[in-house]
Structure 1
């Protein structure tokens, strides 16, 4: 399966953050932001934003003289022992924070072995998850998650998926034409969120943004009740702006 790698802003942010982390890790007694800037060629404003994110995520810490050292979160994720659980815990904390900041249920999904898989989500009393009345694996054509994942495959990968999953009509808004869906996926810019406007379930709207890390196709998504549909695009933009920490955790 070939992928369409078109890096988005969160991808670039995660790559820059990795460069900062690698620089800090090489200086075990601490390194100032001025020296980090020289080592990474990042401008001061950009570096300040990245360091703020890395401190919030626990990847770096500031010591008494203001220099930066690696933080506990990086230590836990870098350890071979218990890595999977550490990664899952870290991603869950990030998803919980995203849920609170965008005011919606948030989902992390991957495309694994030719299937859509929601690996983690964050919900709450005022941010309920979508009622999965039809298995997400069988209706990628109708969900923002599915369309975002399919959009990151090449055309043969998309056709293969659709050949294995009938495009059933779930609501009056569901796209059931493979030609129409493929045309829309092909024309969608990678920086624009995929939307589900009551295509999967009446009364629910969703949006998804890509988070491709290495050879793994993934996405972040959110769902809102129809009465909050006016917030969907703004929430999706916020989700995209804040996707870098998820990508970073997956890359470490």
Structure 2
């Protein structure tokens, strides 16, 4: 299965989002979309959907005259409230909205000190998380999360990781050739979701996309039971589109 790059994929990197927010912040009385485009350097074709996302997430608001001002979400972060708690609540709310919209369990993972770490999981009665029957830290070669994180490392770092976590077969679909795995990672476009088609667990399919939040290596992922595999393409594309607000919540 091949997934075409989504036009929203560049927003996995939040650099444009932060430029827009900085521009709006500088103009306390409001700023037009045209002025935002001029000062932020954001391609005109991407500004409208980005502003729509920021409005939806509460980071900016649009006044009656059409100008944009800072929204309640940013105001709250700048207040005397517990910033860490506000950020965590904001992130969990964003993940829950994405979970319900896609109809899949959602995961945020980071590559920390040479290891895979699942930092957030959003699941529900109808969207259960994957049963971690084998420690995710040892499954980079077989999971969408692991492969997505490895694609963001250089070749040497990938080999070093695989030397510490030997490739093991979990299902008949698991790639057990290091050469084949590295070749596929080297050739994988950064804008295309990484898939796990029952490579980690029989009965489960997954997808993951990079989360470019600063210099950290991270990814956003989803899992679906095999009976919903026909939805994986659309779910992965929705995950791609939903990565920007998640990355923003992790960065601000």
CA shift, 1:242, in A, is 2.0
CA shift, 1:231, in A, is 0.9
CA distance in 1, matches of 2:44, 2:152: 33
CA shift, 1:133, in A, is 0.8
Secondary structure in 1 matching 2:141: helix
Bigger shift: 45-54 or 121-130?
45-54
Q: Partner of 2:37 in structure 1?
A: 37
CA distance in 2, matches of 1:63, 1:150: 44
Q: Partner of 2:53 in structure 1?
A: 53
Matched ranges for 1:1-252 at <5 A: 8-11=9-12, 14-42=14-42, 46-78=46-78, 82-252=82-252
CA distance in 1, matches of 2:41, 2:108: 32
CA shift, 1:11, in A, is 3.1
CA distance in 2, matches of 1:183, 1:37: 40
Gaps of 5+ in 1: 1-6
User: Residue deviations 1:15-43, cap 9 Å, x none?
Assistant: 22222111110111222334323433546
The alignment yields a C-alpha RMSD, in angstroms, of: 2.1
CA shift, 1:213, in A, is 2.1
Residues 80 and 15 from structure 1, CA distance in 2 versus in 1: closer, same or farther, beyond 3 angstroms?
Answer: farther
Bigger shift: 79-88 or 168-177?
79-88
User: Residue deviations 1:96-144, cap 9 Å, x none?
Assistant: 1111221111111110111101111211111111011111111111100
CA distance in 2, matches of 1:107, 1:79: 29
TM-score normalised to the size of structure 2?
Answer: 0.89
User: Residue deviations 1:70-92, cap 9 Å, x none?
Assistant: 12222344569733322222111
Bigger shift: 207-216 or 71-80?
71-80
Gaps of 5+ in 2: 1-7
How many corresponding residue pairs? 245
CA distance in 2, matches of 1:51, 1:8: 16
TM-score normalised to the size of structure 1?
Answer: 0.89
Contact 1:106 1:121 (8 Å CA) reproduced: yes
User: Residue deviations 1:138-172, cap 9 Å, x none?
Assistant: 11111000000011100111111111112121112
Q: Partner of 2:4 in structure 1?
A: none
